[in-house]
Amino acid sequence: MSIRSRLLRPTMRWFVLGSDNSLENLRTGLERFGRLTRRNVADWAEVTVGGIPSIRVTPRSEPSNIHILYLHGGAYNLGSPSSHLGLVSQIVMRLGATATVVDYRLAPEHPYPAAIEDCITAYRALLEEVSPSSLVVAGDSAGGGAALATVIALRDAGDPLPACLYLMSPWTDLTRSGESYQTMSTVDPLVPPGGINSHLGLMDDLVDGYRGAEDASHPGISPLFADLGELPPILVQVGGDELLLSDSTVLAERAEAAGVEVELDVADGMWHVWQFLSPWLPEARGALDKAATYIRKRATVDASPVSLW
């Protein structure tokens, strides 16, 4: 672990979430955190894709034909394309790709399946612009779970599937049945000093807001329990010290058992979506570099971007 990671680790919960767990404060805090991570490395503009408001992020290097449909994290209750501009811009910079970041509807105002419906609509609209062989679906945390749920729904509907998926610390099991919810409860730096029970209480509220009338085990809500067969290749990156570790490790096991090409990258000592901190952390930059290499090998590329690191 780098010196910077050791210095940042004790402050991560305050840095990301603050001290007030109200939904309004969490939403404001994530937007504020997102602004801190932005660097002037890509251009962006507000667009509408299939009627869904989005942000289009474009590279400043020579563009490739790779297009990323990016689904932001935030436990389905918070976050926006704006909060994730910094992270998405770092991915765009590395690939010379274009990215569309979807402003899907949030819970609790719009419970499941509103968010997944918006993501499906945006994907289908992008197919009018982009070949599926050049299209990548990516997301972090809840956005990683949404990316998986979206592609599963597209597979079931017979739509052309993307070249691959890139999932960062995906939230795939909203029942929280994995062992890491216990084993990592005293390790994860995002768990408050008061202990796991207060943290799980917050997660209960977020899950209840999203699932609406459905059970949390519904495969559209927790895609870990879905049929994972015939999906495109999947790259999963997860922190070795995070509460959601088993959401990724079990996903990788089940996807591989279903015959899916899956690569699991567990980063020792890292926490939930540490890639957000690429302006400061070498571990975050390394993870995004690995993801760019993975995507470039699987998506159709017609130009090589200039390396900026």
Using the structure block, give the residue that is written with the tokens 């290097």.
61
Choice among 5, 89, 141, 180 that is catalytic: 141
Report residue 234 as tokens.
């999947």
Does residue 272 carry a catalytic annotation?
yes
Is residue 308 included in any domain, yes or no? no
Tell me the pLDDT tens digit for each residue of 257-298. Answer: 999 999 999 999 999 999 999 999 999 999 999 999 999 999
Which residue range forms the structural domain that includes residue 104? 3-298
Is residue 42 included in any domain, yes or no? yes
Choice among 64, 83, 242, 278 that is catalytic: 242
Is residue 309 included in any domain, yes or no? no
Does residue 31 carry a catalytic annotation?
no
Choice among 199, 272, 278, 283 that is catalytic: 272
Is residue 184 included in any domain, yes or no? yes
Q: CA dist 140 to 47, 64, 170, Å?
A: 21, 23, 6
Contacts of residues 116-121 at CB distance under 8 Å and 24 or more positions apart, as own/partner, are 116/146, 116/149, 116/150, 116/153, 116/220, 118/52, 119/69, 119/71, 119/146, 119/147, 119/150, 120/150, 120/153, 120/154, 121/49, 121/50, 121/51, 121/52
Does residue 109 carry a catalytic annotation?
no
What tens-digit pLDDT sequence spans the chain (309 residues)?
A: 788 887 778 777 666 666 678 899 999 999 999 999 999 999 999 999 999 999 999 999 888 999 999 999 999 999 999 999 999 999 999 999 999 999 999 999 999 999 999 999 999 999 999 999 999 999 999 999 999 999 999 999 999 999 999 999 999 999 999 999 999 988 888 876 555 666 677 899 999 999 999 999 999 999 999 999 999 999 999 999 999 999 999 999 999 999 999 999 999 999 999 999 999 999 999 999 999 999 999 998 754 443 333
Is residue 100 included in any domain, yes or no? yes
Asked if the bond preceding 113 is cis, omega within 30° of 0, the reply is yes
Total domains in the chain come to: 1
Neighbours of 296 (CB within 10 A): 18
With beta carbons less than 8 A apart as the criterion, state whether 231 and 254 touch. no
pTM to 2 decimal places: 0.94
- Which 8-state DSSP code applies to residue 61? S
Phi, psi values for residue 88, rounded to 5° = -65, -40
Q: What CATH number does residue 121 fall under? A: 3.40.50.1820
Give one word for 169, left, alpha or beta, with left for phi > 0 and alpha for psi -120 to 50: left
Helix (H, G, I), strand (E, B) or coil at 255: helix
Is residue 304 included in any domain, yes or no? no
Is residue 305 included in any domain, yes or no? no
With beta carbons less than 8 A apart as the criterion, state whether 267 and 238 touch. yes
Report DSSP letters for 90-146, one per residue: HHHHHHT-EEEEE-PPPTTTS-TTHHHHHHHHHHHHHTTTS-GGGEEEEEETHHHHH
Closest CA to 174 of 138, 215, 144: 215
Residue 306 CB burial class (10 angstroms; 0-12, 13-18, ≥19):
exposed
Is residue 125 included in any domain, yes or no? yes
Closest CA to 181 of 263, 243, 259, 118: 243
